[in-house]
Structure 1
């Protein structure tokens, strides 16, 4: 199964930002070896990096939840289709009973075959819909939450160094 969530580039919304850093410990290191950054510059850089990180994580969570909601919508639509097809099957089954009582052999047998086929199609649609709903559940941004947890752990480790 492929991942439907497009990747979020950290510098999509920041034109004047310095090169992104690979982890929190590199962000806390001085920007250039020749001239160490002052404390206010480091605090400002940290503030910008945290802001960017939060925005990127929120964007990732939004994309993940919308993808799961789309899958759930398809599943719900398939359940609706299954219900409609089952209703047609019920109508055909009722027509079959009427024809079976009115005539004795050929017409009702044909109507019965149509009803069985319609119920089979409804069963397949219901199974496909159920599988789509199960694939979308739970609609929680699990990947974004895990990424945020890793970021918090990295920041804690860098703070203790």
Structure 2
């Protein structure tokens, strides 16, 4: 194996590499969660904006549009002016209800947003994979180190105490 495969790297280098990779993984998971939350917040903002628009239409346009519409209906149909004002009011309420329904639709989409849930599931999956990882120690031989190594009498006890 070459040094690029990790055969000639020391234990400290391997631990440092694993730590750096875990840190990068955690940072990437956090960035993903932020991006998905941003999308859900944007949807909630659009829904809130639609609710505000519905309120503004209902409040600010009623006096102006009601008079204009009522007088327009009266001149077109010849009906009594009070009936024309009621029709004008009904049209304004219809517009406000439609805008409120749009707001409800966007609010439901924001509530159903699965942004953080996806990230949490991904992080849990990563943690589960890392918990099942077992170290695979390389056997140390005299030929790889150039030294003579004496084998201790109780290697099983040493192996159990270190893991």
Whether these two folds match at TM > 0.5 is yes
Within the alignment, does 1:109 sit opposite 2:83 as a pair? yes
Change (3 A) 1:77 1:116: same
Shift of 1:36: 4.7
Residue number in structure 1 paired with 2:30: 58
1:32 is the counterpart of 2:16: no
Residue of structure 1 aligned with 2:128, choices 117, 140, 153: 153
Which structure: greater helix fraction?
Answer: 2
Within 2, Cα distance between the matches of 1:71 and 1:126? 15
Gaps of 5+ in 2: 72-77, 137-163
Provide Cα deviations, 1:18-53, integer angstroms capped at 9, x if missing partner.
Answer: xxxxxxxxxxxx9527x3532112101101101100
Structure 2 contact 50–103 (Cα < 8 Å) conserved: yes
The answer to whether residue 119 in structure 2 is matched with residue 144 in structure 1 is yes
Q: What's the counterpart of residue 119 of structure 1?
A: 93
Q: Runs of 5+ in structure 1 lacking a partner?
A: 1-29
- Quick check: which has more Rg, 1 or 2? 2
TM-score computed with the length of structure 1 as normaliser: 0.64
Structure 2 length as normaliser, TM-score? 0.64
Residues 65, 141 of structure 1: 8 Å contact kept: yes
Q: 1:116, 1:66 → 2: CA distance?
A: 38
1:45-81 CA-to-partner distances (Å, cap 9, x unmatched) read 1011011001101111111111111110110111111
- Distance (whole Å) between structure 2 residues aligned to residue 73 and residue 79 of structure 1: 10
Asked if the contact 1:89–1:115 (Cα under 8 Å) also holds between the matched residues in 2, the reply is no
CA–CA distance in 2 between the matches of 1:74 and 1:94?
Answer: 28
| Cα distance change, pair 159–125 in 1 and its aligned pair in 2 (3 A) | farther
State how far apart, in whole Å, the 1-side matches of 2:82 and 2:64 are.
10
How many residues in Structure 1 have an aligned counterpart in Structure 2? 126
* Mapped contact 2:66–2:88 kept (Cα < 8 A): no
> Secondary structure of the residue that 1:158 maps to in structure 2?
coil
* CA distance in structure 2 between the aligned counterparts of 1:93 and 1:85, rounded to whole angstroms: 10
